[in-house]
């Protein structure tokens, strides 16, 4: 039995409603031994050797922030690609600069075309954002870069690949191609857009060799983990595990995350399409077996489904009247009337289901599937979670509660995208009411906040998400979007701590500072419940504590 370390702090917010604050926390063997004051924990301290650590005497401790929906490994791969995004983005040894306009994007593509040799080498880039950079790209526009060199652009939210005519030729794609997600002009001509998983994987298949190797993937994952740790995060969930290659991704994650120097716990949520392909009819049983591989730092959990496209890429599915241009987004690869059937084996096996649904029409599809599952095989505490839950309605919140579901919400879009999508996507009513957290709270639905980092045009910053949730201030710094959807600071903090743990089925181990849980802390310069709510995003993150080990975010 090792010695006890007692960390003292100016204030400790426990997220335990019965014992909400403290000034000292005792740790032994990586777990919490006692929470309270130096005086209250004397029954332990009189009996065992201990050290009083005053590193945080002037700082504030909270449970380690949890981001229950990220893509750190995939993002770590993308950071080595040519970058075209509208915001600064991490690179292995620097920050990639923003390209704020379409002209800047086209200029950068011309530069890359001039630089890359030989001239037949495909030009692959990532980060284009149609909302902030002038709308979706077209093959004819990319033909202005080159008609001989294949050009493929992966959107920032990777739900689109944009291809020029040479890339279409490399794919062998012509007007006879019949596949879900292949874009066409009004006359049936291919427009160079490949949308959602089936079409996306088809478009990228010839370029897999141009993505980085194993060593760089490991470097990229470590770099992304550093970004998360600097934001006060101690646990993340990879919400699309196995989408490229199940076994190689497992070897990468296991090798990197198991390193004692790696600063996060990670939860791997397998993509249903990948495990179905890998394990066929045994997929549900294999998920249960994978969950048995759990270690303190790395575990499998649940299964991920898709029901529509992307909020930032403007491919989510919404109820009538649809989009401003008269169109709509795209459903996921599984037809909606088959969702329940595909979910059923996992449901019966007791596996938690996470279902991506951004728009209200897609949310309807998931709720319909959930209702059907409950009618076929009723379950308590199933925790089916709708991921993103961006455009929703009051009737859906009520139905989600009645069916026992949860929501994991991306509220960054309220600040970063609502004004853009009011003008470019689905109009002011739905854009203003993006991420209806107040409604979920009023209906009693448990919800978490996540970033989807770095596959949306927003940072990984739980304090910023808390600030957005309690203020709902748009990017112009003036407009308050749907003020009735604001929530209180404590409720927002729960959404990045204990309720995020609940969404991942880990509330017995992380998410609050209680006896027996992992000693994982976020360390802040001040108490977010005590400062003005407008100042929450300005609090400094000192770093984290993982399993009792302080990790400064320097």
Among the listed residues 210, 115, 114, 196, the one whose alpha carbon sits nearest the alpha carbon of residue 157: 196
DSSP class of residue 205 equals G
Residue 285 is assigned to a structural domain of this protein: yes
Among the listed residues 56, 27, 23, 59, the one whose alpha carbon sits nearest the alpha carbon of residue 38: 23
Pairing of strands 65-70, 541-546: unpaired
Asked if residue 482 and residue 358 are part of one domain, the reply reads yes
> Is residue 25 within 8 Å of 35, Cβ to Cβ?
yes
Angle between the N-to-C axes of helices 339-348 and 283-291, in degrees from 0 to 180, rounded to the nearest 10: 50
Residue listed under structure tokens 């997929």: 283
Residue 15 is assigned to a structural domain of this protein: no
Q: Among the three residues 181, 210, 239, which one is the final residue of a domain in this structure? A: 210
Instruction: Give me the pLDDT at residue 212, please.
Output: 63
Residue 421 is assigned to a structural domain of this protein: yes
Residue 471 is assigned to a structural domain of this protein: yes
Asked if residue 87 and residue 185 are part of one domain, the reply reads yes
Asked if residue 248 and residue 174 are part of one domain, the reply reads no
d(CA 302, CA 354): 7
Q: Is-cis flag, bond preceding 321, omega within 30?
A: yes
pLDDT exceeding 70 applies to what percent of the chain?
A: 99
Asked if residue 289 and residue 202 are part of one domain, the reply reads no
DSSP class of residue 158 equals S
Torsion of CA 361, 367, 370, 371, to 10 degrees: -120
d(CA 94, CA 492): 32
Instruction: Give me the pLDDT at residue 466, please.
Output: 99
Q: What is the pTM of this model?
A: 0.92
Look at 118-132, 366-380, 539-553 and tell me which has the smallest mean pLDDT: 118-132
Q: Could you report the per-residue pLDDT of 442-488, keeping only the tens digit for each?
A: 999 999 999 998 877 788 999 999 999 999 999 999 999 999 999 99
Angle between the N-to-C axes of helices 360-376 and 394-402, in degrees from 0 to 180, rounded to the nearest 10: 20
Domain that holds residue 310: 66-72+215-508
Asked if residue 294 and residue 245 are part of one domain, the reply reads yes
Which are the contacts of 418, defined by CB distance < 8 A and separation ≥ 6?
431, 432, 434, 474, 475, 481
Instruction: Give me the pLDDT at residue 504, please.
Output: 98
Asked if residue 448 and residue 332 are part of one domain, the reply reads yes
CATH code for the domain of 179: 3.10.310.70
Asked if residue 183 and residue 249 are part of one domain, the reply reads no
Instruction: Give me the pLDDT at residue 1, please.
Output: 66
For CA atoms 548, 253, 506, 290, the dihedral sign is negative
User: What length is written for the chain?
Assistant: 554
Asked if residue 399 and residue 417 are part of one domain, the reply reads yes
Q: Among the three residues 210, 243, 274, which one is the final residue of a domain in this structure? A: 210
Long-range CB pairs of 472-475 (<8 Å, 24+ gap) are 472/414, 472/415, 473/415, 474/414, 474/415, 474/418, 474/419, 475/415, 475/416, 475/418, 475/419, 475/420
Give how many domains the chain has, as a whole number: 2
Select, from the ranges 121-125, 327-331, 397-401, the one with the highest average predicted confidence (pLDDT).
397-401
Asked if residue 196 and residue 233 are part of one domain, the reply reads no
> Is residue 99 within 8 Å of 108, Cβ to Cβ?
yes
State the distance between the two ends of the chain, measured CA to CA, in whole angstroms. Answer: 32
Residue 57 is assigned to a structural domain of this protein: no
> Is residue 231 within 8 Å of 176, Cβ to Cβ?
no
CATH code for the domain of 427: 3.20.20.140
> Is residue 323 within 8 Å of 425, Cβ to Cβ?
yes
Q: Could you report the per-residue pLDDT of 409-451, keeping only the tens digit for each?
A: 999 999 999 999 999 899 999 999 999 999 999 999 999 999 9
Residue 60 is assigned to a structural domain of this protein: no
d(CA 152, CA 161): 6
Asked if residue 280 and residue 180 are part of one domain, the reply reads no
> Is residue 233 within 8 Å of 67, Cβ to Cβ?
yes
User: pLDDT class for 339, splitting at 50, 70, 90?
Assistant: very high
Residue 357 is assigned to a structural domain of this protein: yes
Residue 129 is assigned to a structural domain of this protein: yes
Q: Looking at the predicted structure, is the pLDDT value of residue 517 above 80?
A: yes
Asked if residue 288 and residue 224 are part of one domain, the reply reads yes
Asked if residue 501 and residue 380 are part of one domain, the reply reads yes
């Amino acid at each position: 039995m090792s010695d006890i370390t007692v960390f003292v702090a100016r204030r400790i917010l426990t997220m335990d409603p019965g014992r909400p604050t403290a000034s000292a926390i005792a740790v032994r063997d990586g777990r919490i031994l006692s929470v309270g004051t130096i005086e209250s924990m004397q029954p332990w301290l009189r009996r065992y050797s201990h050290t009083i650590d005053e590193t945080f005497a002037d700082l504030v401790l909270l449970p380690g922030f949890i981001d229950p929906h990220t893509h750190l490994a995939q993002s770590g791969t993308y950071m080595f690609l040519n970058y075209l995004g509208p915001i600064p983005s991490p690179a292995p040894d620097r920050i990639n600069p923003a390209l704020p306009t379409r002209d800047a994007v086209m200029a950068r593509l011309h530069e890359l075309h001039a630089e890359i040799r030989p001239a037949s080498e495909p030009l692959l880039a990532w980060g284009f954002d149609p909302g902030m950079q002038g709308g979706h790209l077209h093959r004819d526009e990319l033909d202005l870069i080159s008609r001989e060199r294949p050009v493929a652009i992966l959107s920032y939210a990777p739900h689109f690949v944009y291809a020029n005519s040479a890339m279409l030729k490399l794919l062998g794609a012509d007007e006879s191609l019949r596949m879900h997600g292949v874009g066409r002009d009004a006359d049936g001509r291919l427009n160079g857009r490949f949308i959602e998983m089936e079409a996306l994987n088809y478009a990228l298949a010839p370029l897999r060799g141009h993505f980085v190797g194993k060593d760089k993937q490991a470097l990229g994952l470590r770099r992304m983990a550093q970004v998360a740790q600097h934001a006060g995060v101690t646990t993340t969930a990879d919400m699309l595990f196995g989408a490229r290659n199940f076994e190689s991704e497992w070897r990468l994650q296991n090798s990197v995350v198991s390193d004692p120097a790696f600063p996060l716990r990670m939860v791997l949520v397998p993509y249903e399409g990948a495990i179905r392909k890998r394990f066929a009819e045994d997929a549900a049983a294999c998920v249960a077996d994978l969950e048995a591989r759990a270690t303190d730092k790395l575990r499998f959990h649940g299964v991920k489904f898709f029901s529509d496209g992307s909020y930032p890429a403007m491919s989510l599915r919404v109820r009538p009247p649809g989009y401003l241009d008269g169109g709509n987004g795209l459903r996921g690869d599984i037809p909606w009337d088959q969702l329940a059937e595909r979910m059923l084996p996992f449901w019966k096996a007791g596996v938690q289901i996470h279902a991506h649904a951004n728009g209200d029409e897609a949310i309807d599809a998931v709720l319909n599937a959930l209702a059907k599952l409950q009618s076929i095989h009723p379950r308590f505490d199933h925790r089916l979670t709708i991921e993103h839950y961006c455009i929703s309605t009051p009737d859906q919140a009520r139905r989600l509660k009645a069916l026992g579901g949860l929501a994991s919400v991306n509220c960054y879009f309220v600040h970063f995208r609502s004004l853009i999508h009011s003008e470019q996507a689905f109009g002011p009513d739905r854009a203003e009411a993006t991420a209806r957290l107040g409604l979920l709270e009023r209906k009693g639905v448990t919800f978490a906040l996540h970033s989807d980092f770095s596959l949306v045009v927003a940072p990984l910053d739980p304090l910023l998400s808390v600030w957005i949730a309690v203020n709902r201030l748009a990017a112009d710094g003036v407009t308050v979007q749907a003020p009735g959807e604001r929530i209180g600071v404590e409720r927002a903090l729960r959404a990045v701590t204990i309720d995020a743990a609940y969404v991942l089925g880990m509330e017995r181990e992380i998410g609050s500072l209680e006896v027996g849980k992992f000693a994982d802390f976020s360390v802040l310069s001040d108490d977010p419940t005590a400062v003005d709510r407008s100042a929450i995003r300005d609090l400094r993150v000192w770093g984290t504590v993982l399993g009792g080990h302080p990790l400064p975010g320097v």
